[in-house]
Amino acid sequence: MSELRDLLGIRHPIILGPFGGLSSVELTAAVSDAGGLGSYGLYGYDGARIHETVTALRAATGSPFALNVWLPTGDEVTPDDRFEDYAAALDPFFADVGIARPARPARYLPPLAEQLDAIWEAAPAVLSVVFGAPSRELVWQAHSRGIRVVGTATTVAEALALQRSGVDAIVATGAEAAGHRVSFLRAAEDSLVGLFSLLPQVADAVDVPVIAAGGIADRRGVAAAFALGASGVQVGTAFLATSESAATAAHRAAIRSTGADQSVLTRAMSGRLARGARNRAVREIEASGAIAPFPAQNWLTGQFRAAAGQQGKGALQSLWLGQSAPLAQGETAAEVFAELVSGVPA
């Protein structure tokens, strides 16, 4: 525990989960200022937007924070002649929010190299990565700038791969967790290990600090994680439900009302397996069987999801949440943080 705090420059071993598309400067700063590690997800951000975001974060907090990126897995599709077919399958959702079918973009995502150039310039305290093991060159580039690197594993084999790459700490994320399953050695469906099984096995297998994620929302989950070998905890859903997050009112309401047995794993909204509430969009896209590969599906649904968020239509949003959503009771980041810290062993 003290090793992780010293490593990351934080007072408490509490880490905010990075939300791809749902991070906010206010929430990141609140967790960092409380003595934890605030995280900001940079999914889809180009270099200029990363620069703007880091400027805002530095204005909001003088404490350490983490930036998070998705590593390419090699199976990402690019805009091609199939775009019109992918888009046509979602026409009913575009119509429901009153927008035209979007035109084919030049790209779905900025290249990782562009993101990393901006991150190296920003030099955050921590760079966290998902969907893969970073190259040794990437880790060296980070370390040469004083940046710690944290990887994310869903299996013991992935944790060992991350350790070989030279990361400073590993997040062991259980199948209970909200959002995307970030598996990278095998299919996500073949890597669904619950945190209570995964955490002690990862802690036994690696020599770097292990951070527990998935199903932790209160002091009891924190205490259990430390008892199973964690050096820290990463919490997403409980913070996503707070007033400082970028989640919409409908999303927060879903977190408070979705039972542990009601969340689902689906590829409907992004083309990759992710855990959230089964709303109308998920049900109808799954029933249609027309799910484009990643990131085409994510980009396309993102067009109507953004409009749905503005219109308060939770039935058409990605309502990511974990299986411990019913335990997310805090209204503010400060309340959630205080609850979590109370579970950290003395």
Give the model confidence (pLDDT) of 94-104 as tens digits. Answer: 999 999 999 99
CA–centroid distance for 163 within its chain? 20
- Is residue 298 domain-resident? yes
Give the model confidence (pLDDT) of 190-220 as tens digits. Answer: 999 999 999 999 999 999 999 999 999 999 9
Give the model confidence (pLDDT) of 21-41 as tens digits. Answer: 899 999 999 999 999 999 999
- Is residue 224 domain-resident? yes
- Is residue 145 domain-resident? yes
What is the rounded CA–CA span in Å between residue 145 and residue 282? Answer: 42
What is the rounded CA–CA span in Å between residue 321 and residue 21? Answer: 14
Q: At 4, is the pLDDT very low, low, confident or very high (cuts 50, 70, 90)?
A: very high
- Is residue 227 domain-resident? yes
Q: Where are the alpha helices (DSSP H) in 172-295?
A: 195-205, 219-227, 237-240, 249-257, 280-288
Question: Is the confidence at residue 1, as pLDDT, over 80?
Answer: no
pLDDT at 93: 98
What is the rounded CA–CA span in Å between residue 79 and residue 261? Answer: 37
- Is residue 195 domain-resident? yes
What is the rounded CA–CA span in Å between residue 292 and residue 271? Answer: 6
What is the rounded CA–CA span in Å between residue 35 and residue 12? Answer: 6
What is the rounded CA–CA span in Å between residue 30 and residue 303? Answer: 29
What is the rounded CA–CA span in Å between residue 303 and residue 127? Answer: 28
Q: At 59, is the pLDDT very low, low, confident or very high (cuts 50, 70, 90)?
A: very high
Cβ-proximal residues to 56 (8 Å cutoff; 6+ apart), any chain: 25
This prediction has a pTM of: 0.96
Q: Mean pLDDT throughout 107-119?
A: 98
Give the model confidence (pLDDT) of 287-344 as tens digits. Answer: 999 999 999 999 999 999 999 999 999 999 999 999 999 999 999 999 999 999 999 9
Cβ distance 61 to 93 under 8 Å? Answer: no
- Is residue 346 domain-resident? no
Q: At 136, is the pLDDT very low, low, confident or very high (cuts 50, 70, 90)?
A: very high
Q: Which among 336, 272, 240 is positioned nearest to 23, based on CA atoms?
A: 240
Structure-token pair, residue 210? 């292990």
Structure-token pair, residue 299? 């980009």
Q: Which among 137, 118, 150, 97 is positioned nearest to 53, based on CA atoms?
A: 118
> Domain count of the chain?
1
What is the rounded CA–CA span in Å between residue 124 and residue 67? Answer: 7
Cβ distance 87 to 80 under 8 Å? Answer: no
- Is residue 272 domain-resident? yes
Structure-token pair, residue 18? 């990075």
Q: Which structural domain range is residue 88 located in? A: 2-341
Question: Is the confidence at residue 2, as pLDDT, over 90?
Answer: no
Count CB neighbours of 272 within 10 A: 23
Burial 218-227, CB ≥16 within 10 A → b, else e: beebbbbbbe
pLDDT at 346: 84
Q: Mean pLDDT throughout 265-274?
A: 98
Q: Which among 274, 261, 213, 201 is positioned nearest to 238, based on CA atoms?
A: 213
Q: Which among 227, 321, 219, 232 is positioned nearest to 278, based on CA atoms?
A: 321
Can you give the CATH number for the domain in which 312 is found?
3.20.20.70
